[in-house]
Structures are given as C-alpha cells and as structure tokens.
C-alpha cells in the first residue's frame, strides 16, 4: 500500500518559503509558489507525500485552522491557479498531496455562520446555538453549560444579533459545526469530493474525534478541557466517519489520517481498525506527553523506559500507526527529547550533542512500524525558538494559557518557563534555508521571528556536508523505503532504563535491533543483551561502531 511505504512531509505554508510572486512581494509569509520552488528538495529528501496545512481562505485567527471558504485560497498564499500548479508540479515528481481537513469548526466569517446568526435562516442548524441560562443574582445571561475550551478559555460566545450563545471549543472565531444536521454533513462531503477531484490523495483530519456533540450537559470537573465526555469518540462521530468513507473516500485512491485529541488505545482501535472503515490511521499524543502533565503544559522528568512503554503499547496495540515527533503544534523534537537546549552559545550555536541527538531520534522514528510523518525543518534538526517574552509570540493558545495562569496567580517567570517549553510557535518559526538574512525564508519581514541559530543550522550548509542531519535523514528515508522489515515487521521491546532503550523489529527471518541513548553519559549495554550487537551495523548516530557501550546521545541500528 503506497501510503504505508512512503514518508509524509508536512508543510506549514506560512513558515515554509516566501516567494516574491504573491500578494505584496516578499510579504513575510510563505506561499504556494514558494512551495513549488522547493519541491525538488522534498523529492531529494525522499518523501513521497506532502501534508499541506491549511491554505484555504481564512481570517487567520488560528493561522488558517479557521476557514472562511473551503473552495478558495488565502490570497497570502496565492490563488487556485497556484494550487493547481502545485498539484501538477508535485505529480511530475511523483509526490502526492494530502489536504488538511478542518471540519469541526469553520471561521465565524464563513458565509454559513454569517447566515446562521439569523434564527430563521436554514443555516441556523449548521452550528450549535443555545439560549443562555438566567442565574439568580447575575445580571447577564450565563453560558448554556460549564465546558472549557482547548485554548484555555470560554466555549460559548453570546451573539447579540441572535440573542443566543454559539459553541466554540477553540477560539471564539472558530464556531463548531453541528453534525446532527445531515444537510451540513452533505456539505462536508462536497468539500471532500472537490479536493479529491482537484488531485488530493487524502486528508489529515483536524480534531476528528470530537466533531459529534452527543449532549450539551455540564461536564465533570477537569483541569484541562471540561465537558470532553460529551463529545469525544461518540457513536455519532463513528457514524459520520463511516459515511464519509462509504459515500466519498472509498471511491478514490486516497487515505485519511485523523488528528485525535485525548485519544486512548480503546478509542483508537474503534477509529482506525481497517475493518470498521473509518480512518486509515491516526495521530495519538501519548508519546509526546511522557515528560509533560496537564496535557502538555507542565514539564516533568523524561525517562526512556516510560517512552518505550508508551511506544510498545501503540506499536503492538494498533494494526497501523501514524508516527510523528513534530508538527505545527509541538516543540521541536531535538529540544524536547534531544540535546539541543544544553550548551547553546549566546549567539545560538547549538551544543555539542545537538547533531547526534537529532540523528538518534531519526533512527528511532525510522525504525518504528507505521506511516512516517516528518515536519518541515525536522530534517535539519531545527530547534525551539529563542524568543524572550510572551509579546514575541503569535500563538493564540499560548496567549490563552498565559491569561488563565495569570488568573490563578502563577508567577510571571514560571508562566514563561512553561509556555516557552510548550508553545506551538516553537514549531512555527520559519524554515532555515541558508545563512543569508532571515535564513533565506523571505526578503521581507518574517511574520514570526527566525531563530537566530540559522547561521549554524540551515539547509544549504547541510546539503554540502555528507555527515549532516539532513543527509542522515535522506539515508534513513531511503533505507526504510527499501526494507519491508522496517515498514511491516513486528515490534518487540527488549530492555529500557531511565536513559536507554533497546527494541527489535522482526519480519520473516530478518531481525533489526535498535539501541538508543537519551542521555549525556555513556551507557553500557547490559551483558544479557550483548549478543544482539553481533549483527551487521547499518547505521549509528555517531558514525562509530558500537560494541558494548553507547556514546552519549548515540543510537544504533543492526541487522541479523
Ligand atoms: O493539543 C492542543 C491542546 O491541548 C492543541 O495544541 C491543539 O489545539 C490540538 O492538538 C488540536 O489541534 C488542531 O486543531 C486546532 C488547531 O489550532 C491546531 O493547529 C490543529 O493542529 C484547531 O483547529
């Protein structure tokens, strides 16, 4: 199956490559002609599929995840003609494209929502409108229930034109659609068909396990999103997914990957087991939260054995996984699980083990079972941002959190420490193409600051260096593609402690062994497992031959 064997490359358009062709020349936003100009790099990397984060028309309250027209392109990014050219140019290079499908909500500037503000409009039921509650002693109408939102804020907004509240699980500019209305569901099918006919090979489906709100009753008290039990992985949600599959998706050669928030293994099986015909695979969050609490907002100590446990659960628990370590909502993985944050210079020069840890993590990812997703900049080991204060951030979620924590009197320095580690802007700073001004991303003023380490971490210099992170990714992608064992083999954990992990991939009579060191110290492999290291060494992050000891942040792949 092509979508199991290809590596997917995620593009977050506004941070990828600005061209001088769109809107005002060099407006500081990446755009579609910019993507076209870099297709050869993606081809050279070895990725066969692009996941394109939203390029649709949008007022950008949540960077395009608030869509005001699903059939049009945001002028910041170009035109529909540019998009058609992108499909054609990608096809020429054997690259398929999947679109981002954001259908839990639209923008409040979408025509459906504007019309739905009139209680008599046929569009009223496209969204979830409810009267407020009159509470004795309170002057204003109170929201219909006690739910709290994903961006650490309210979930109901009063609309004076209507005299009622509407539901929004995310920003107030992202009203939730009503999946109890079959007419609205038909509109979504039309959108799917439109993009499949244009040339899309599938969809990444945004927060797709929370689209159906079974009831609007009060939620159980919770520190994170309160009310989840009324809309996460509901029967109605499964039915809608089955309907999309039956009426549209199964008629095309395409696949879907669902972004499924707060998903557990039980839900995940229901959503993605092939015989149920819902999603083809999904993104879970557990692995990125092994060193986080309160969703991902408060850091805690990293332990390799915890990470291996979580991975084993998912590797063995699902028929097929979507494997990712980064996306536009996450910290950079070399900063999160790797060594990038230690030993940095004041001018951004990364520490000694930045590069080796980036390769070790690549080794980890490329030896897991599932479809691999890498995020722009991951292949050169881009790191978290180096902003100094909240005002430099753009992310709505970070600002929402900051406000909420302030309400709870959490001191400013602690608020900043937590936001710095978790902010979605970590993954959103512009791609570092070369060492010219703004890292070759734009000749204008970038919409979000470029990390000052671009002089040390950039594409152009890594292309020339045979030992770079980029060239390691290229080798791993090619090797993975040629190996049925790494794609389809069974996953078997062998050993882990707080610093290292060892596991195997087994397929027919071939076995791969992987050992990884997530620490600044050398790590001796327990004697009991020494025999595993007699196999043929395929790759190591340090480039050294591994015998019985792993160097700091080293990783090794062996075949026997
Ligand atoms: O994990 C989160 C909160 O705990 C969020 O970062 C994120 O909102 C969640 O993963 C859902 O993400 C998706 O939908 C959002 C959009 O802002 C994200 O960019 C998108 O990936 C709303 O459309």
> How close is the Cα of 260 to the center of ligand 1, in Å?
10
Separation CA 124–CA 101 (nearest Å)? 22
Counting atoms of ligand 1 from 1, which one is nearest the CA of 224?
A: 4
Residue nearest to atom 19 of ligand 1 (CA): 329
Residue nearest to atom 2 of ligand 1 (CA): 150
According to DSSP, the residues that pair with 202 across neighbouring strands are 255
Counting atoms of ligand 1 from 1, which one is nearest the CA of 102?
A: 23
> How close is the Cα of 467 to the center of ligand 1, in Å?
35
First-to-final CA distance of the chain: 26
pLDDT for res 144: 97
Tokens of 353: 């083990």
Taking only the tens place, the pLDDT of each residue in 156-175 is 999 998 899 999 999 999 99
206 is catalytic: yes
Separation CA 254–CA 37 (nearest Å)? 25
Q: Are 486 and 16 in contact (CB under 8 A)?
A: no
Separation CA 8–CA 452 (nearest Å)? 28
pLDDT for res 139: 85
Residues across the chain: 560
329 is catalytic: no
The whole-number average pLDDT for the span 140-149 is 95
Taking only the tens place, the pLDDT of each residue in 514-529 is 999 999 999 999 999 9
Using pLDDT thresholds of 50, 70 and 90, give the confidence band for residue 59: very high
Q: Which residues line ligand 1 (CB under 6 A)?
A: 62, 65, 102, 150, 170, 206-207, 259, 261, 295, 328-329, 397, 424
pLDDT for res 153: 86
The number of angstroms, rounded, from the C-alpha of 397 to the middle of its chain's C-alpha atoms is: 15
Residue nearest to atom 22 of ligand 1 (CA): 65
pLDDT for res 329: 97
Using pLDDT thresholds of 50, 70 and 90, give the confidence band for residue 210: very high
Res. 25: pLDDT tops 70: no
**Which residue carries 């020494």 as its tokens?**
530
pLDDT for res 347: 84
Using pLDDT thresholds of 50, 70 and 90, give the confidence band for residue 24: low
Counting atoms of ligand 1 from 1, which one is nearest the CA of 150?
A: 3
Give Cβ neighbours of residue 235 (< 8 Å, ≥ 6 apart): 212, 214
> How close is the Cα of 330 to the center of ligand 1, in Å?
10
Q: Tell which one of 65, 210, 286 to mutate to probe ligand 1, the residue whose CB is within 8 A of the most ligand atoms.
A: 65
> How close is the Cα of 329 to the center of ligand 1, in Å?
6
Residue nearest to atom 8 of ligand 1 (CA): 150
The whole-number average pLDDT for the span 416-436 is 95
Q: Are 365 and 325 in contact (CB under 8 A)?
A: yes
> How close is the Cα of 451 to the center of ligand 1, in Å?
23
CA distances from 115 to 108, 125, 211 (A): 10, 10, 21
Taking only the tens place, the pLDDT of each residue in 252-265 is 999 999 999 999 99
Res. 393: pLDDT tops 70: yes
3-state secondary structure of 433: coil
Establish how many alpha carbons lie within 13 A of residue 62's alpha carbon, considering only the half-sphere containing its beta carbon: 28
């Amino acid at each position: 199956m092509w979508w199991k064997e290809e590596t997917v490359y995620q593009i977050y358009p506004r941070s990828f490559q600005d061209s001088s062709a769109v809107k005002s020349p060099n407006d500081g936003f990446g755009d579609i002609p910019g993507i076209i100009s870099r297709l050869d790099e993606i081809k050279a990397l070895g990725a066969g599929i692009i996941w394109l984060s939203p390029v649709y028309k949008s007022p950008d309250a949540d960077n395009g995840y608030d869509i005001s027209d699903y059939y049009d392109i945001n002028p910041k990014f170009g035109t529909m003609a540019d998009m058609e050219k992108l499909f054609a140019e990608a096809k020429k290079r054997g690259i398929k494209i999947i679109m981002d499908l954001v259908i839990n909500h639209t923008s409040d500037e979408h025509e459906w929502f504007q019309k739905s503000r009139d209680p008599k409009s046929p569009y009223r039921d496209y969204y979830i409108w409810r009267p407020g509650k009159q509470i004795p002693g309170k002057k204003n109408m109170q929201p219909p229930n006690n739910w709290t939102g994903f961006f650490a804020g309210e979930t109901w907004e009063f609309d004076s034109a209507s005299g009622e509240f509407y539901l929004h699980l995310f920003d107030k500019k992202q009203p939730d659609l009503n999946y109890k209305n079959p007419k609205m569901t038909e509109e979504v099918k039309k959108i799917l068909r439109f993009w499949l006919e244009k040339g899309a090979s599938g969809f990444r489906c945004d927060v797709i396990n929370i689209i159906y709100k079974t009831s609007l009753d009060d939620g159980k008290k919770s520190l994170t999103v309160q009310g989840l039990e009324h809309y996460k992985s509901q029967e109605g949600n499964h039915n809608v997914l089955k309907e999309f599959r039956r009426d549209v998706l199964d008629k095309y050669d395409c696949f879907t990957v669902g972004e499924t928030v707060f998903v557990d293994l039980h839900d995940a099986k229901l959503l993605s087991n092939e015989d149920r015909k819902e999603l083809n695979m999904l993104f879970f969050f557990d692995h990125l939260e092994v060193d986080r609490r309160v969703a991902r907002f408060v850091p805690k100590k990293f332990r390799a054995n915890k990470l291996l446990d979580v991975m084993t659960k998912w590797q063995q628990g699902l028929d097929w996984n979507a494997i990712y370590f980064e996306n536009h909502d996450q910290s950079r993985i070399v900063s999160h699980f790797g060594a990038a944050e230690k030993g940095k210079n004041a001018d951004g020069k990364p520490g000694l083990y930045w590069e080796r840890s980036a390769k070790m993590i690549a080794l980890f990812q490329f030896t897991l079972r599932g479809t691999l997703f890498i995020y722009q900049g991951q292949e050169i080991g881009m790191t978290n941002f180096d902003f100094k204060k909240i005002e430099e951030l753009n992310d709505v979620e970070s600002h929402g959190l900051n406000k909420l924590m302030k309400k709870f009197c959490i001191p400013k320095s602690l608020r900043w420490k937590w936001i710095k580690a978790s902010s979605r802007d970590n993954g959103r700073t512009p791609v570092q193409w070369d060492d010219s001004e703004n890292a070759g991303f734009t000749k204008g003023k970038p919409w979000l600051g470029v990390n000052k380490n671009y002089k040390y971490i950039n594409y152009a210099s890594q292309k020339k260096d045979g030992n770079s992170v980029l060239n390691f990714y290229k080798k791993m992608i090619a090797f993975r593609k040629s190996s049925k064992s790494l794609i389809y083999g069974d996953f078997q954990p062998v050993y882990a402690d707080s610093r290292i992990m060892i596991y195997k991939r087994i397929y027919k009579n071939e076995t791969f062994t992987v050992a990884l060191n997530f620490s600044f110290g050398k790590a001796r492999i327990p004697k009991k497992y020494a025999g595993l290291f007699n196999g043929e060494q395929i790759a190591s992050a340090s480039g050294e031959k591994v015998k019985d000891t792993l160097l700091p942040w080293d990783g090794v792949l062996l075949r026997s």
